[in-house]
Structure 1
Amino acid sequence: MKDLSIKELVTACNGTFCGSESLLEEKIDGVVIDSRIVKSNYVFVAIKGENTDGHIYAESAVKAGAKVVISEQDLSADVPYIKVESSPRALQDIAKYYRMKKNFKVIGITGSVGKTSTKELVASVCATKFKTYKTIGNFNNELGLPLTLLQVEDEQVVVLEMGISDFGEMHLLADIARPDICIITNIGYCHLETLGDRAGVLKAKTEIFDFANADTKVILNKDDDMLSGVTFNAPVFYGIENKDSYVHADNIVDNGISGIMFDAYVGDKMLKKVCVPLPGMHMVYNALAGIAVGCILGIEEKDILAGIMNLKAVGGRNNIIKTDKYVLIDDCYNANPVSMKAAIDVLSKADKGDGRRVAVLGDMFELGSEEAAYHKSIGEHINRKKIDVVVCIGSLSKNIASAIDSSDKIRVYEYKDVDSFLEEKDKVLMKGDIILIKASHGMNFKKIVEELSL
C-alpha cells in the first residue's frame, strides 16, 4: 500500500473516526485482518468470524504498531479506531477506493477450472514488460481480493484470481476490482449446491462484466460450449478445437510431465514453438489466454514466449515433485470433475519407466444431487486411460471405484480416510511409481503429499 491517509480511510468506508485528529493526515503502510501480522503503521480490521472475534485483539494490535483499528464496536479511549457498520464492507470499500485512486491495470480471472494456473501464467507474461502483482495463495474471495489490492504499491499490472460459490459474489468482487481485462477460463461443474447447473455457473461467473465499460477487454475460451455464445464487448476468443478463434493452438506436442509445446496463431500471425514447462492439455488453454493478454498489452512476441517458458508450478496445483522413491503429481489443492479428468490425462500420458501410474483420488465436494454420478464418471474416464493403480479415499470416492472395470488391468484400493491409506501406503505403492494426488481441498490430501515427499 502506498499514499493512503487515515482521513482517506474514513472517507472511503463512510466511518466515524474516534481518536486524536492529529492522526488523520498520517499515512498507513498496510491493512490486515490478522492481528498476529500487524506491523508499525498498519491498519487492523477487526472482523467477527465463525471461530473468533477480531475485536478481542484490537488493543493488542495497537500495541503491536497498528495506527488505527476499523471496528463495528466502541473501543477503549486509548485505541484510535474508525467505527463502521460492517468491518468486511469497510475493507471492501477501502480496497475499491484504493484501486480507483491508483493508476494500475487490473486483469480479473475467473472460471470453474484453471483460475490459479492461468493467473500464474498471465502474471509471468505481464512481468516481462511491467511491474506485476498477483493474487497470493487463495486470497481470491470477498476478503482476500480486497487485501490483495491493498498490497499493491507501484506495480503497473495486477492479476487477480476471482473465486465465488454463489450468485452475487462476483458482482461484489467486480465492483471492488473493476477489471480492465476479464478472463473466463471455462464453465464447469462447480458449486452446484448453490448455483444449480452450468447455466447457473455461467450466470454467476459473467457477473464479472457488471461494472465493465466500452474499453473493458473480454477474453473467453471458445472451446467451452457455454462461453462460445457470449457476445459481451466482442470477446477475444481462444481455443484449440475452434480454429476460428482469434488465438488458437496447432501442432501440439505433449512431452508428458516435462510440459507441452505448440504453435499459436494470433489472427494471421504465428508464434512458433510455444513451450509450456508444466504438463497437461489444459496448460495450452492457459497459455493461449496469456498470449491474448500479452497482445492486448502490447508485449513483444519474444517476451510473451519467455514469460510462458519461465512459468513456475504452484504447490498443490500440477506440481511435479521428484523423490528418491516416487514422482508425485501434486494436484491436491482442489478438485471437480473437469479438473480431475484433466489430471488423470496427465498421469496417463506420463512416462512411467519401470514403475506404475498410480492415481490417488479423493472426494469431490459441492456437486449437488448428482454427486454420485459425477464420481462414477471419473471411474469411467479411468477405464479409457493407461492407469495401473487407483486408490479411492472417502465415502463419495467409492463411486469412482465401482465404475472401474473389474479386471486385472487396473488394481483398485479403497480407504475411508487419508490416515487409513497412509497406514498401508507401503503395501500399495512401489519404488518408481508416478503418483497423481488429487481431491477436494477439504479432504486434506496435502498430508499425503507431505508424507510421500519425505
Structure 2
Amino acid sequence: MSMDVLSTTQLYQKFQECTSVSTDTRRITPDCLFVALKGDSFDGNQFATQALASGARYALIDDVAVLEQSQPADSNRLLLVKDSLTVLQDLARHHRQTFTFPVIGLTGSNGKTTTKELIAAVLSKKYRTYATVGNLNNHIGVPLTLLAIRSDSPGVDSPTEPYEMAVVEMGANHQKEIELLCSIAQPTHGLITNVGKAHLEGFGGIEGVRKGKGELFDYLIQNGRTAFINSRDKTLTAMYRERLKTYRPDEQTGEVVFYPAVTSDEQPIELLQESPVVTYRATLGETITTHLPGQYNFENMLAALAIGDYFGVTSVEANRAVADYNPTNNRSQVVIKGTNTVLLDAYNANPSSMAAAVRQFATMSAKRKAVILGDMYELGPESEAEHAALGKLIADGRFDLVILAGKDMKYALTSLPKAYYFPDKFSLHNWLMDNPMTDTHVLVKGSRGMSLESVVPFI
C-alpha cells in the first residue's frame, strides 16, 4: 500500500482514464473520478470507498486514515493528496492548458447566469460551445466546469467533435475570489454584467464589490486579453479606464470592445417594450420578441449579441437564438397559472436586482398587480437599511397586493402598513390557499435560500 502523494501530472493521467468528475456520492457515474471535499458539516473522505463501490474508477482523498483502513482491492484506486480542493483546482488549471479555443469568463452582481445562457445560445449557432451548467460558478464549480470540457472521455465509441468555445460563469462573495477563478479558467475574453449591491457582507460594502468584480478586468488587462464592456454602464467603463492608468503605456493591455455599437449600414438596437417580455428592434430593422422581461434582461441580450457579432455569428442567427431562449431555472420565467401571470424570478435577490425587478414590474400594464417578495441574504449589517429602502420602493409602486416573507422583510413594513407579512413560508402557503388570486400579474422574487418558487402552485 503506497502512501506517496501523487503529483499533478500523475493525477492528470488518472483523470484521463475517467469519464467525468464528481464531488457528490449521490451523483456517481461509471468510471468517474470522485473528489472527496470537506466542509463545515461534512467530510467527503468518509464516503470515498462508497463512491468506489458505486462505480467510481478512482477516489481523490486527503485523509491518510481512509487509505490505511481500506481493503487491498481499493487501495490502488484511492489517490492520496495533501488537499483535495487545491488539487481539484490544480487539475482544472492543468486541463485548461490543453484548450486551444476562446474561453469567455463572465461575472457580475446580477444577471450572470442569464447572460451566460444567452451568450452560449448565440455562439452555439456557429460553434460547438460548452457553458457552465446551472451556476457551478465558485471555487469548486469552476474547476468542475473546466474538467467537464472534453471530448476524449474513455468508453465513448465515437468521440464527440472537440469544443470550439467555452463560456465560464464566475461568482464571488468576497475579494480575491475572482482572481483565483481567473487563475484557473484563464479567460481569453471577459465580461462583467454590472456591479451592484450583492454579497455586501462578504465584500465589505459596495466598494469592495466593485474591487472584487474588477479582478476580472485586472486579469484581462495584465494578460493582454479582450474585455467586453457595456458603454452605457458608467461604472464599468470607469473601472476599466482606472485600471488602464495603472499599467505602463507600452505594456500589452489587450483589446476592449465597447457595446452596443453599430456599423454604418446598421441601426442601433432599440428597446421597444420591456413587459411582459422584452421586444426590440434589431440592427436590420426586424422586431424581435423574447421570453424575458425587463430592461435589465435587455442589457444581458445586448451583451450576447455583441459577443456573437465579435465572433462572426450572423445578426439573423444571433437574434433567433435570443428570441428562442426560454429560461427554466426560476430566473425571469413567465408562468401562466389560470387567469394569473406569474413573473418568477426566485433564483436569487439582492438590493440591486430587487430594485430593478420592482421598478420594471411597476411600469407594467396589468389589471391587477401583486408582489410576493422574500428576504435578501448576505447583506450583513446593511440588511435592515436595505430591506427598509426596499419597502419605500415597493410603496412607490402602488401595487394592489404586497406580500412579504422572511425574518428581515419585517424591516420593509414601516413603509407598507397594508402589506401582508409572514415570517415563514408555511403560513404564507396557507394564506395563498385561503385567498386565491384571479386576473393578477404576480412578481415572485427572493434570495435562493427562500426558495420562493414553492409559492407558484398556490397562486
Q: State the TM-score, normalized to the length of structure 1.
A: 0.85
Q: Unpaired segments of 5 or more residues in structure 1?
A: 1-8, 18-22, 265-269
Q: Cα offset for 1:204?
A: 0.7
Contact 2:198 2:352 in 1 (8 A): no
Partner of 1:78: 73
SS of match in other structure, 1:437: strand
Residue among 47, 56, 64 paired with 1:57: 47
**Does residue 116 in structure 1 map to residue 100 in structure 2?**
no
SS of match in other structure, 1:347: helix
In the alignment, the residues of structure 1 paired with residue 179 and residue 10 of structure 2 have an alpha-carbon distance, to the nearest angstrom, of: 21
Q: Cα offset for 1:322?
A: 0.8
- Structure in which a larger fraction of residues adopt strand: 1
In the alignment, the residues of structure 1 paired with residue 255 and residue 101 of structure 2 have an alpha-carbon distance, to the nearest angstrom, of: 23
Partner of 2:156: none
Contact 1:391 1:414 in 2 (8 A): yes
Opposite residue 120 of structure 1, the aligned amino acid is E
**Does residue 293 in structure 1 map to residue 307 in structure 2?**
yes
SS of match in other structure, 1:360: strand
Partner of 1:94: 91
SS of match in other structure, 2:73: coil
Opposite residue 156 of structure 1, the aligned amino acid is E
Count of residue pairs brought into register by the alignment: 422
Opposite residue 27 of structure 1, the aligned amino acid is E
- Structure in which a larger fraction of residues adopt helix: 2
Q: Cα offset for 1:272?
A: 4.9
**Does residue 307 in structure 1 map to residue 321 in structure 2?**
yes
Q: Cα offset for 1:94?
A: 0.9
Contact 1:347 1:387 in 2 (8 A): no
Contact 1:115 1:161 in 2 (8 A): yes
Partner of 2:215: 207
In the alignment, the residues of structure 2 paired with residue 378 and residue 309 of structure 1 have an alpha-carbon distance, to the nearest angstrom, of: 32
Contact 1:167 1:204 in 2 (8 A): yes
Q: Report 1:339-358 matches (<5 A).
A: 339-353=353-367, 356-358=368-370
Contact 1:358 1:433 in 2 (8 A): yes
Opposite residue 8 of structure 2, the aligned amino acid is A
Distance 1:271 1:179, change over 3 A: farther
Partner of 2:8: 12
Q: Report 1:32-51 matches (<5 A).
A: 32-51=22-41
Q: Cα offset for 1:109?
A: 1.1
Opposite residue 235 of structure 2, the aligned amino acid is M
Q: For 1:95-133, what per-residue CA distance to the aligned partner results, in whole angstroms no more than 9, with x for missing partners?
A: 111121132321111000110111111111111101111
Opposite residue 31 of structure 1, the aligned amino acid is V
In the alignment, the residues of structure 2 paired with residue 25 and residue 415 of structure 1 have an alpha-carbon distance, to the nearest angstrom, of: 49
Contact 1:393 1:421 in 2 (8 A): yes
In the alignment, the residues of structure 2 paired with residue 150 and residue 301 of structure 1 have an alpha-carbon distance, to the nearest angstrom, of: 32
Q: For 1:316-348, what per-residue CA distance to the aligned partner results, in whole angstroms no more than 9, with x for missing partners?
A: 111111122522111111101111122223422
Residue among 291, 303, 310 paired with 1:277: 291
Partner of 2:278: 259
Opposite residue 78 of structure 1, the aligned amino acid is A
Q: State, as a whole percentage, how many aligned pairs show the same letter.
A: 31
Q: For 1:289-329, what per-residue CA distance to the aligned partner results, in whole angstroms no more than 9, with x for missing partners?
A: 11221122121221211121121113211111112252211
Opposite residue 231 of structure 2, the aligned amino acid is K
108-117 vs 318-327, greater mean Cα deviation: 318-327
Contact 2:102 2:164 in 1 (8 A): yes
Residue among 335, 338, 347 paired with 1:333: 347
Q: State the TM-score, normalized to the length of structure 2.
A: 0.85
In the alignment, the residues of structure 1 paired with residue 309 and residue 316 of structure 2 have an alpha-carbon distance, to the nearest angstrom, of: 12
In the alignment, the residues of structure 1 paired with residue 270 and residue 219 of structure 2 have an alpha-carbon distance, to the nearest angstrom, of: 38
Opposite residue 139 of structure 2, the aligned amino acid is E
Distance 1:255 1:26, change over 3 A: closer
Contact 2:267 2:285 in 1 (8 A): no
Partner of 1:431: 438
In the alignment, the residues of structure 2 paired with residue 451 and residue 223 of structure 1 have an alpha-carbon distance, to the nearest angstrom, of: 40
In the alignment, the residues of structure 2 paired with residue 227 and residue 345 of structure 1 have an alpha-carbon distance, to the nearest angstrom, of: 22
Contact 1:330 1:438 in 2 (8 A): yes
Opposite residue 53 of structure 1, the aligned amino acid is D
Partner of 2:375: 363
Partner of 2:251: none
Partner of 1:446: 453
Q: Cα offset for 1:223?
A: 3.4
In the alignment, the residues of structure 1 paired with residue 14 and residue 387 of structure 2 have an alpha-carbon distance, to the nearest angstrom, of: 56
SS of match in other structure, 1:121: helix
Partner of 1:413: 420
Contact 1:238 1:285 in 2 (8 A): no
Partner of 2:336: 322
Contact 1:248 1:288 in 2 (8 A): no
In the alignment, the residues of structure 1 paired with residue 56 and residue 308 of structure 2 have an alpha-carbon distance, to the nearest angstrom, of: 39
Q: Cα offset for 1:10?
A: 5.0
Q: Cα offset for 1:392?
A: 1.3
Q: For 1:354-395, what per-residue CA distance to the aligned partner results, in whole angstroms no more than 9, with x for missing partners?
A: xx2100011112223232222222222223335211111123
In the alignment, the residues of structure 2 paired with residue 347 and residue 115 of structure 1 have an alpha-carbon distance, to the nearest angstrom, of: 21
**Does residue 172 in structure 1 map to residue 167 in structure 2?**
no
**Does residue 390 in structure 1 map to residue 390 in structure 2?**
no
Q: Cα offset for 1:427?
A: 4.2
Q: Cα offset for 1:439?
A: 1.0
RMSD (Å), alpha carbons: 2.7
Q: Cα offset for 1:449?
A: 2.8
Q: Cα offset for 1:25?
A: 9.8
Distance 1:105 1:422, change over 3 A: same
SS of match in other structure, 1:446: helix
SS of match in other structure, 1:391: strand
Contact 1:124 1:308 in 2 (8 A): yes
Opposite residue 432 of structure 1, the aligned amino acid is D
